[in-house]
Chain A
Amino acid sequence: MLKYTVKRLLYSVLILFFVMFIIYILMYNMPSGYVETKARELASRPGATKSYAEWLEDLNAQYGMDKGVVGGYFVWLGNAVRGNWGDSWAWTIPVTQEFHNTVWYSFALGFASFIFEILIAIPLGITAARKQYSFTDYFTTVVAMVCISMPTFFVATVLKYVLSVKLGWFDLSGMQGRDYMTLTQFGKILDVAKHFVMPLITLVIISIGGLMRYTRTNMLEVLNADYIRTARAKGVPEKTVINKHAFRNTFIPLVTMLGGTLPGLFSGALITETLFSIRGIGYASYTSMTQADIPFIMFYLAFISILTLLGNLISDLLYAAVDPRVRLS
């Protein structure tokens, strides 16, 4: 197990190396003169402390732009490994600070939607599987499919239209009401929570379908297994069959999958946060992307690549941990 983990970790590092290299090539090929433009802009910002030439030199050296793609990549890599991620161009503060400012909002949003997703999707998926070919089954299947097929922006727009424009329950976008500053500490928390409701609903709607289908498929598989037939044959009550025998076995793939998504809670919801102007890491990175903020984008993409790899690893390890029959090699 330990050997397997170490091997996988080493593989992950190798993969990460090449993933970041590909991304670096993309960033390196930003339109020519970009750094010059950026330097000019930075130098002419109010309160700028460096001149254009200084900024240019600084930026080129900082990102190894003068050393070619490969050389530049190693400069970036060297800095990144030492934890030196540079200053964000779009936010004008250190990248890690902007990350720290935003990631917890994203995590709160992701975690809440994760909980709701589990609470809604798993019971529905199990019910659908138990009553296969019933109305409930068809209904759940169709709802799951509709949820999977809806574009995020359409869900968000419909929600805004109904809940915000027509009913006036929530603000259209943003994270704070206009009287935020006058509220008490507790009131502030409530205010932010209220602004998180619509993004939360959006996230739950678009991610619920997949989990529902996954639960249903796995439950069906388990319900057709021989040991279920045996349990029923020896007269175990249906409730016990479902809750003990069937569900525990359905649990294996579910835990594997959900465990794999855990790191993803930190990666932020790029589109949803942008549409609702939630100052999470997804929104921050979207803004950075459209403004070609190389340091922040490189950081963010490295971050979510690590999360993806971590998710895969966790899911494989959990598979072995939950199911004693599985041996990892």
Chain B
Amino acid sequence: MNHSYNLNEALKARAAAQQEHKRENGEIKLDDLSRVKVLSPGRQVFKRFIRNRLAVFGSVMLILMFLFSFLGPVFYPYGQKQIFYKYEPRNVDYGMVKENTAYTGYDIDGGAGVERSVNNKMNSIIKKMVAGDAQAQTVIGEERGYLVEKLADDVYRASASEFAEVCTVGSGEAVVGTYSMVGKKLENAKNPAEGLEAAIKAAIAKDAKGGTFELDGVTYTYTRGKAKSYEITAAYDGIQYADEAMDAGFEDALNAAMQAENGFEYDGSFYAIVKQGDGAKAYRLSNLAPAKLYSRLSVSTYEVGQKISAEMNLAALLATAGDGTFEAEGKKWTIAREDLEWIVRDEAGEEFMELMPYAVRRYNGDDTMEYGLKKALMEKALQMDRDGEKVGTITYGLPMQTDTGEYVTDEEGNLSYQDTELKLSRRDTGEFVVNCQQVIYVINMFDAPSKEHWLGTDGDGFDVFSRIMYGGRVSLMVGFVVVFLETFLGVIMGGLSGYYGGWVDMLIMRLVDIFYCLPSMPIMIILGALMDAMRMDTYIRLLIMMAALGIMGWAGVARLVRGQILTLREQEFMVATEATGIRVKDRIFHHLVPNIMPQLIVQATMGMGGVILTESTLSFLGLGVKHPLATWGTIINSVSSASAMQHYAFIWIPVGLLICVTVIAFNFVGDGLRDAYDPKAKR
């Protein structure tokens, strides 16, 4: 029979018997077990631990910190990357008043259009016309010729036409033809002078390479080309007609136009002049047809947001040159000029829209301003332009806004208005920017602590309180992982080293020396800079950082474990394990390591504080965990500039205190544990 004797049960039985006895006799003897309380070693340590006030304080702080960091986010409504917005009255860029300088092209129905290269040049062409006060201007493109005419102020029409070269003016050289040695005759010659063929023959006979000869006062040059032929050019001066010669009246008009550098009209046709070097070429434009309308007038309707069709716009523009009436969208309209604007009225004489050379728009380009406001802004801008003022203000009723940026309406749903001061300032580029106070939706940056955000918000509109919670998670987690890693490595290496001794010990201890000597902070900084350069993902960074810290920290644990094992392995229980033939692995990890557990726990607890410090320092330097992932270090880093530090103390002081309290708590608990495990060391 397997008889087992359990001391605990025997003691319990004896105590029960004595209790019984005591109840019967009502007396307690000196060796009564109820007078002597037997505590297990664990309970003893616990009892000594809770007697230490600082250690208890530390434990409570740690428990609170864990609850705060790991459970807090569950109950707290905001996330760590949640951006908060708010409505705030701000001085915003409300609108812009700008003189239209660009001429917009409108396609005329059935018009031929304008080729791209000319269309691109059109703005500068029209501006030149405005500057020279010209009524018409000719342009020769690659495909067609164009006539640009002024219809009215700011309205120009381009007509396309075919063109043909009429003549060349000025001095120069022109190819007359080629002389072929094969056929012994002139080829490709246009209007050759009489006797040219004979003259070239004579010249070639004189000099076969090339040269010059004169005929009828004109100097000809011939050069030897390919295929046994000579190219003949003639120097010319004056007007050289391409086809038929024109009369003297044309030549007078041409010479006059040369002075003015413009096209001209002669005998019912338009002629264009294109300068070439000293001379010029004249082209005749024929079959003119309207192609495109150019105007810098922009439309403003009296009612906000009314859309104007392109046809109506075009019709109105065309009507500026006509009798002032036009038809569009099935109605009749009249257009009349008043000062700078053209006002369009319907049949009843009601004003419908305006065409003006100024664009008054919201700053983002929307055309949603009221007509009255537009008009007021434009007039102010014009007045400032006249008086050379840089800054001016007007007061005008803008739609009233509530604190949350909504527009206020009365019972009938009409907008309420509120007089607002609008400030116009002129930019160097000529346009006027309109500023005024408006309630807008912005990121809630650096908000002071309030009921919604207990510690305010940071520079990204994140809630600081929630970031502190999430930051605590990361910081504590980093502490745990790193300490676990270094303890794990340290126990294995230290255990092997201490147990085996000899060359294993020698090798591992030199390795420990090396790792002891490695400067960990510089290496972490270098690693951080390296990961910066590689633009690594922030979570991977976190993992690498934890691994690096663990690898850098195991040497201390290994030394501790080795030292303990060296003393323990000489003791009787280790001799017993050897005698009973327990495997080496089990001897180290089942019999030796549990005996050094107290020292390991103390070391690990103290180490936790150190790791949290290192991590927060690295994050503070921007080389650890990166934004937007929160850690305590990054939160302080975000407000470490001089002005932020001064104004946003509500962000960094709580976080800094939290780091301090956590590290202090770990140290107190570690201290308390050491004293509790080994009371002799203290006294």
Chain A residues within CB distance 8 Å of chain B: 11, 14-16, 18-19, 22-23, 26-27, 29-31, 34, 138, 141-142, 145-146, 148-154, 157-158, 160-161, 165, 172, 220, 224, 270-271, 274, 285-286, 289-292, 297, 300-301, 304-305, 308-309
Q: Which of B158-166, B214-222, B482-490, B525-533 contacts A (4 or more CB under 8 A)?
A: B525-533
**11 other A-B residue contacts (CB within 8 Å) besides A142-B54, A157-B652:** A15-B510, A19-B514, A141-B54, A151-B613, A153-B633, A270-B521, A289-B525, A290-B529, A304-B522, A308-B516, A308-B519
Could you tell me the distance between the alpha carbons of A27 and B527 in the complex, rounded to whole angstroms?
Answer: 9
Q: Nearest Cβ distance between residue B176 and chain A, in whole angstroms?
A: 57
Q: Nearest Cβ distance between residue B604 and chain A, in whole angstroms?
A: 16
Q: Nearest Cβ distance between residue A132 and chain B, in whole angstroms?
A: 9
Contact of B646 among A29, A152, A165 (CB under 8 A): A165
Produce 1/0 per residue, B176-193, CB < 8 A to A.
Answer: 000000000000000000
User: In the complex the two chains form, is B664's CB within 8 Å of A146's CB?
Assistant: yes
- The A-contacting residues of B in range 631-683, CB under 8 angstroms, are 633, 636, 640, 642, 645-646, 649, 652-653, 656, 659-660, 663-664, 666-668, 671, 682-683
User: In the complex the two chains form, is A289's CB within 8 Å of B660's CB?
Assistant: no
Given A26-B527, A160-B645, A292-B529, do A149 and B514 touch, yes or no (CB 8 Å)? no
User: In the complex the two chains form, is A149's CB within 8 Å of B660's CB?
Assistant: yes
User: In the complex the two chains form, is A271's CB within 8 Å of B617's CB?
Assistant: yes
User: In the complex the two chains form, is A224's CB within 8 Å of B683's CB?
Assistant: yes
- A sample of 22 cross-chain residue pairs with beta-carbon separation below 8 angstroms, ordered by A number, consists of A14-B510, A19-B514, A23-B523, A26-B527, A145-B664, A145-B668, A146-B660, A149-B609, A149-B667, A150-B660, A151-B617, A153-B617, A158-B656, A160-B642, A172-B642, A271-B621, A285-B522, A286-B525, A289-B526, A290-B532, A301-B519, A308-B519
Could you tell me the distance between the alpha carbons of A176 and B653 in the complex, rounded to whole angstroms?
Answer: 28
User: In the complex the two chains form, is A149's CB within 8 Å of B663's CB?
Assistant: yes
User: In the complex the two chains form, is A290's CB within 8 Å of B517's CB?
Assistant: no
Could you tell me the distance between the alpha carbons of A108 and B659 in the complex, rounded to whole angstroms?
Answer: 30
Secondary structure at chain B's binding surface: helix, strand, loop or mixed?
Answer: helix
Could you tell me the distance between the alpha carbons of A290 and B530 in the complex, rounded to whole angstroms?
Answer: 8
B63 at the interface (CB under 8 A from A): no
B39 at the interface (CB under 8 A from A): no
Residue in chain A with minimal CB distance to B57: A142
Give the size range of B's interface with the partner: 35 or more
Give every chain A residue within 8 A of B527 (Cβ-Cβ). 26
Interface centre among A31, A145, A146 (most CB of B within 10 A): A145
B465 at the interface (CB under 8 A from A): no
Q: Nearest Cβ distance between residue B102 and chain A, in whole angstroms?
A: 40
Could you tell me the distance between the alpha carbons of A317 and B621 in the complex, rounded to whole angstroms?
Answer: 38
Residue in chain B with minimal CB distance to A15: B513
Contact of B518 among A19, A172, A289 (CB under 8 A): A19
Give every chain A residue within 8 A of B54 (Cβ-Cβ). 138, 141-142, 145
Give every chain A residue within 8 A of B645 (Cβ-Cβ). 157, 160-161, 165
B10 at the interface (CB under 8 A from A): no
Q: Nearest Cβ distance between residue B82 and chain A, in whole angstroms?
A: 26
B342 at the interface (CB under 8 A from A): no
B620 at the interface (CB under 8 A from A): yes
Could you tell me the distance between the alpha carbons of A153 and B645 in the complex, rounded to whole angstroms?
Answer: 13
User: In the complex the two chains form, is A161's CB within 8 Å of B636's CB?
Assistant: no
Could you tell me the distance between the alpha carbons of A107 and B5 in the complex, rounded to whole angstroms?
Answer: 69
Could you tell me the distance between the alpha carbons of A151 and B637 in the complex, rounded to whole angstroms?
Answer: 13
Give every chain B residue within 8 A of A309 (Cβ-Cβ). 517
Chain B residues within CB distance 8 Å of chain A: 54, 510, 513-514, 516-519, 521-523, 525-527, 529-530, 532-534, 609, 613, 616-617, 620-621, 623, 633, 636, 640, 642, 645-646, 649, 652-653, 656, 659-660, 663-664, 666-668, 671, 682-683
Q: Nearest Cβ distance between residue B243 and chain A, in whole angstroms?
A: 62
Q: Nearest Cβ distance between residue A83 and chain B, in whole angstroms?
A: 22
User: In the complex the two chains form, is A308's CB within 8 Å of B656's CB?
Assistant: no
User: In the complex the two chains form, is A271's CB within 8 Å of B521's CB?
Assistant: yes
Could you tell me the distance between the alpha carbons of A160 and B643 in the complex, rounded to whole angstroms?
Answer: 11
User: In the complex the two chains form, is B659's CB within 8 Å of A151's CB?
Assistant: yes
User: In the complex the two chains form, is A290's CB within 8 Å of B510's CB?
Assistant: no
Give every chain B residue within 8 A of A154 (Cβ-Cβ). 636, 656, 659-660
Residue in chain B with minimal CB distance to A150: B660
User: In the complex the two chains form, is A26's CB within 8 Å of B525's CB?
Assistant: no
Residue in chain B with minimal CB distance to A138: B54
Q: Nearest Cβ distance between residue A11 and chain B, in whole angstroms?
A: 7
Could you tell me the distance between the alpha carbons of A271 and B623 in the complex, rounded to whole angstroms?
Answer: 13
Residue in chain B with minimal CB distance to A307: B519
Of all A-B residue pairs in the complex, the 4 with the closest CB atoms, nearest first, are: A149-B663, A154-B656, A149-B664, A153-B620
Give every chain B residue within 8 A of A34 (Cβ-Cβ). 533
Could you tell me the distance between the alpha carbons of A206 and B479 in the complex, rounded to whole angstroms?
Answer: 20
Give every chain A residue within 8 A of B532 (Cβ-Cβ). 290
Q: Nearest Cβ distance between residue A229 and chain B, in whole angstroms?
A: 13
User: In the complex the two chains form, is B522's CB within 8 Å of A270's CB?
Assistant: yes
User: In the complex the two chains form, is A149's CB within 8 Å of B526's CB?
Assistant: no
Residue in chain A with minimal CB distance to B512: A15
Contact of A30 among B522, B530, B617, B660 (CB under 8 A): B530
Could you tell me the distance between the alpha carbons of A270 and B671 in the complex, rounded to whole angstroms?
Answer: 28
User: In the complex the two chains form, is B514's CB within 8 Å of A18's CB?
Assistant: yes
Give every chain B residue within 8 A of A270 (Cβ-Cβ). 521-522, 525
User: In the complex the two chains form, is A289's CB within 8 Å of B529's CB?
Assistant: yes
Give every chain A residue within 8 A of B617 (Cβ-Cβ). 151-153, 271
Residue in chain B with minimal CB distance to A37: B533
Contact of A300 among B522, B623, B656 (CB under 8 A): B522
Give every chain A residue within 8 A of B642 (Cβ-Cβ). 160, 165, 172
Residue in chain A with minimal CB distance to B525: A289
User: In the complex the two chains form, is A297's CB within 8 Å of B522's CB?
Assistant: yes
Residue in chain A with minimal CB distance to B620: A153
Give every chain B residue within 8 A of A157 (Cβ-Cβ). 636, 640, 645, 652, 656
Could you tell me the distance between the alpha carbons of A165 and B523 in the complex, rounded to whole angstroms?
Answer: 33
Give every chain A residue within 8 A of B510 (Cβ-Cβ). 11, 14-15
Q: Nearest Cβ distance between residue B118 and chain A, in whole angstroms?
A: 44
Q: Nearest Cβ distance between residue A69 and chain B, in whole angstroms?
A: 16
Q: Nearest Cβ distance between residue B468 and chain A, in whole angstroms?
A: 14
Residue in chain B with minimal CB distance to A297: B526
Q: Nearest Cβ distance between residue B659 and chain A, in whole angstroms?
A: 6
User: In the complex the two chains form, is B533's CB within 8 Å of A22's CB?
Assistant: no
Given A289-B525, A297-B526, do A19 and B683 touch, yes or no (CB 8 Å)? no
Contact of A26 among B516, B523, B646, B660 (CB under 8 A): B523
User: In the complex the two chains form, is B517's CB within 8 Å of A19's CB?
Assistant: yes
Give every chain A residue within 8 A of B517 (Cβ-Cβ). 15-16, 19, 305, 308-309
Residue in chain A with minimal CB distance to B614: A151
Q: Nearest Cβ distance between residue A139 and chain B, in whole angstroms?
A: 12
Q: Nearest Cβ distance between residue A198 and chain B, in whole angstroms?
A: 13
Interface centre among A290, A297, A300 (most CB of B within 10 A): A290
Residue in chain A with minimal CB distance to B639: A157
Residue in chain B with minimal CB distance to A294: B526
Contact of A301 among B514, B522, B609, B616 (CB under 8 A): B522
Give every chain A residue within 8 A of B513 (Cβ-Cβ). 11, 15
Q: Nearest Cβ distance between residue A252 and chain B, in whole angstroms?
A: 18
Give every chain B residue within 8 A of A30 (Cβ-Cβ). 530, 533
Residue in chain A with minimal CB distance to B526: A289
Residue in chain A with minimal CB distance to B530: A30
Give every chain B residue within 8 A of A220 (Cβ-Cβ). 682
Could you tell me the distance between the alpha carbons of A300 and B623 in the complex, rounded to whole angstroms?
Answer: 19
Interface centre among A34, A151, A172, A308 (most CB of B within 10 A): A151
Residue in chain A with minimal CB distance to B612: A151
Could you tell me the distance between the alpha carbons of A108 and B617 in the complex, rounded to whole angstroms?
Answer: 24
Contact of A305 among B519, B530, B620 (CB under 8 A): B519
Residue in chain B with minimal CB distance to A166: B646
Residue in chain B with minimal CB distance to A29: B530
Residue in chain B with minimal CB distance to A19: B517
Interface centre among A15, A27, A305 (most CB of B within 10 A): A15
Could you tell me the distance between the alpha carbons of A26 and B525 in the complex, rounded to whole angstroms?
Answer: 12
Could you tell me the distance between the alpha carbons of A56 and B621 in the complex, rounded to whole angstroms?
Answer: 31
User: In the complex the two chains form, is A274's CB within 8 Å of B621's CB?
Assistant: yes
Give every chain B residue within 8 A of A14 (Cβ-Cβ). 510
Give every chain B residue within 8 A of A308 (Cβ-Cβ). 516-517, 519
